[in-house]
């Protein structure tokens, strides 16, 4: 399946939803139906604009198995050739699911678009306060002073939820206002089945997205060289100033087993980088960019996998299928 000049992205999404029913694959009811721009009957002028918008995108409106891959333990998945725009694999790509920390792709995109990477900000008490235990953080302390660049590395390596909150407060003025910016950006890139409640991806029943919407967000974020550099980093050495004026030095290691080299890829393939996500409700999730021997780029996304080890096995099955 390829993009064509006649493709109408929002209409495709709307038809896909109405025909397939697009239920929440993890048992959620569709409690979040809202009117969104771009859905419904389009004028000729609007169709032309939308066709132009979709011309450089992979567009999937049905399940596709152009390659043999095993995603039986995942709720939804896709494997797209970014250069030819071919849909190599698509499973439940428009089902609304919990994204966990893959949310941080949009958090980073908004920061790169609206923020100053060298701007400094002080960590607030609210940004490091969480009501649930076991939250992934960069162990920031109230009064610590970091740059936006440093916070983004924390966001995309150790998947730091405290860094997400600090970024939101710095650029948006508050976490709530930043989330509004995230939702606005989601609509701008065509992610019409997404609704964010927080900048971190911590669980909320009204915080959801789809595999296809994550592709749209990731595709937009990859336009920023800094984003690519950040998701490629197996680790990041950071030095910043604490509230008492002392120097803090740490190394943040990536949560992505591909990036860390702990999960291998076939010869000739490179795991460039991506973003992990895990919560009890979302299960194991991953958005990953791969590059082939000839420089061909692929994006693979899996949401709602039973176990982290299975997640990587299923993603490896995409790559193995390319060799067959």
Q: Which residues are catalytic?
A: 101, 104, 159
Name the pLDDT band for 154 (thresholds 50, 70, 90): very high
Residue 125 burial (CB count, 10 A): 9
Q: Considering the entire predicted model, what is its pTM?
A: 0.86
Query: What pLDDT, on a 0 to 100 scale, did the predictor assign at position 133?
Result: 86
Return the structure tokens found at 294.
Answer: 């000839």
Query: Could you give the 3-state DSSP secondary structure of residue 11?
Result: helix
Find tokens 């025909």 and name the residue: 19
Q: Is the pLDDT of residue 215 over 80?
A: yes
Name the pLDDT band for 2 (thresholds 50, 70, 90): very low
Q: Is the pLDDT of residue 58 over 50?
A: yes
Q: Is the pLDDT of residue 311 over 60?
A: yes
Return the structure tokens found at 147.
Answer: 């740059």
Q: Is the pLDDT of residue 54 over 80?
A: no
Under 8 Å between Cβ of 69 and 321: yes
Query: What pLDDT, on a 0 to 100 scale, did the predictor assign at position 132?
Result: 87
Which residues are CB-contacts of 300 (< 8 A; sequence separation ≥ 6)?
A: 77, 78, 79, 80, 286, 287, 288, 290, 315, 318
pLDDT mean over 148-173: 98
User: How far is the C-alpha of 252 from the C-alpha of 254, rounded, in Å?
Assistant: 7
Class of domain 102-208+232-253: alpha beta
Domain boundaries, the chain: 102-208+232-253
pLDDT in tens, 99-153: 999 999 999 999 999 999 999 999 999 999 999 888 999 999 999 999 999 999 9
Q: How far is CA 296 from CA 106, 129, 131, in A?
A: 24, 43, 43
């Amino acid at each position: 399946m390829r993009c064509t000049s006649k493709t109408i992205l929002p209409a495709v999404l709307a038809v896909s939803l109405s025909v397939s029913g697009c239920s929440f694959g993890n048992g959620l009811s569709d409690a979040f139906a809202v009117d969104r721009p771009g859905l419904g009957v389009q004028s000729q002028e609007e169709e032309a604009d939308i066709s132009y918008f979709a011309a450089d995108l992979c567009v999937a409106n049905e399940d596709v198995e152009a390659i043999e891959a095993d995603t039986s333990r995942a709720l939804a998945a896709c494997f797209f050739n970014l250069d030819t725009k071919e849909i190599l694999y698509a499973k439940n790509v428009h089902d609304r699911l919990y994204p966990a920390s893959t949310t941080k792709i949009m958090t980073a995109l908004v920061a790169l678009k609206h923020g100053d990477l060298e701007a400094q900000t002080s960590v607030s008490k609210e940004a490091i306060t969480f009501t649930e235990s076991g939250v992934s953080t960069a162990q920031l302390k109230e009064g610590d002073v970091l740059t936006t660049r440093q916070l983004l590395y924390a966001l995309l390596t150790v998947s730091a939820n405290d860094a997400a909150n600090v970024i939101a407060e710095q650029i948006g003025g508050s976490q709530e206002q930043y989330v509004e910016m995230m939702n606005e950006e989601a609509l701008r890139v065509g992610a019409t089945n997404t609704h964010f409640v927080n900048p971190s991806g911590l669980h909320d029943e009204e915080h959801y997205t789809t595999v296809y919407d994550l592709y749209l967000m990731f595709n937009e974020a990859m336009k920023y060289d800094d984003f690519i550099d950040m998701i490629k980093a197996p680790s990041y050495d950071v030095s910043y100033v604490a509230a008492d004026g002392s120097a803090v030095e740490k190394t943040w290691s990536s949560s992505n087993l591909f990036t860390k080299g702990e999960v291998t890829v076939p010869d000739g393939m490179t795991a460039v980088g991506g973003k992990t996500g895990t919560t009890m409700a979302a299960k194991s999730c991953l958005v990953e960019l791969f590059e082939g021997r000839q420089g061909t780029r692929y994006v693979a996304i899996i949401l709602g996998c039973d176990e982290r080890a299975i997640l990587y096995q299923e993603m490896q099955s995409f790559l193995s299928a390319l060799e067959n």
